[in-house]
């Protein structure tokens, strides 16, 4: 039996919704992913549920990310997600409020190079709702880590997208349901009323 989302012990995580990634994510506009994330954020704010924004931004000299790694080699070549650039900024449709925590990471898993775990403890959270980009990268890594730590993890299906439709579909239909609860955005919005 799937547990309910208890808004009193929940945080919403907005993962890597940055201009550079939004620009190269297929079907993000026609699937209304940003609008769905914005709706979840708005509902969380009304209910005073913590919203924590995670970014992935690196130094212009790339000394803060792994060398000799295909994932990060692509970032270096494209010169994307560089700290302080417009491309690394959080997309305006999901922009954080001044009182919302924004944590920057220099790897895929936000638990590794940020104090996300401490932030969740500070909010007395036992449940996280994941939204963001990309489904088979940061969303999956966050779900795995949070699940291993004992958090109840929910992913709002219409609030995530990936670098390819195939990667998204495989992760959302085959991988993620084995480690967390994949639910519709309406279920999340209802829980945050």
**Predicted confidence (pLDDT) per residue in 100-152, tens digit:** 999 999 999 999 999 999 999 999 999 999 999 999 999 999 999 999 999 99
Superfamily name and number for 7-191: Isochorismatase-like (3.40.50.850)
**Predicted confidence (pLDDT) per residue in 28-80, tens digit:** 999 999 999 999 999 999 999 999 999 999 999 999 888 888 888 888 888 99
169 token code pair: 């579909």
- Cα(158)–Cα(167) distance, rounded to whole angstroms? 15
Helix then strand then coil, % of the chain, to nearest 5: 40, 20, 40
Stated pTM of the model: 0.96
Outline where DSSP puts E strands in 49-168: 51-56, 101-105, 127-133, 152-161
Q: Are 103 and 52 in contact (CB under 8 A)?
A: yes
């Amino acid at each position: 039996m799937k547990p309910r989302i208890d808004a009193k012990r929940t945080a919403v995580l907005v993962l890597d919704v940055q201009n550079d990634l939004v620009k190269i994510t297929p079907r993000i506009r026609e699937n209304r992913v940003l609008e769905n994330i914005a709706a979840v954020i708005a509902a969380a704010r009304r209910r005073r549920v913590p919203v924590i924004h995670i970014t992935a931004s690196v130094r212009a000299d790339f000394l803060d990310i792994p060398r000799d790694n295909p994932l990060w080699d692509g970032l270096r070549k494209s010169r994307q997600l560089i700290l302080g650039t417009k491309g690394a900024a959080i997309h305006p449709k999901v922009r954080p409020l001044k009182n919302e925590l924004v944590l920057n990471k220099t790897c895929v898993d936000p638990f590794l190079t940020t104090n996300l775990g401490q932030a969740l403890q500070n909010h007395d959270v036992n449940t996280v709702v994941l939204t963001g980009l990309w489904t088979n990268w940061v969303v999956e890594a966050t779900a795995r880590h949070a699940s291993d730590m004992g958090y109840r993890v929910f992913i709002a299906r219409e609030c995530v997208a990936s670098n390819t439709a195939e990667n998204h579909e495989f992760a959302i239909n085959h991988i993620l349901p084995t480690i967390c609860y994949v639910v519709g955005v309406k279920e999340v919005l209802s829980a945050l009323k």
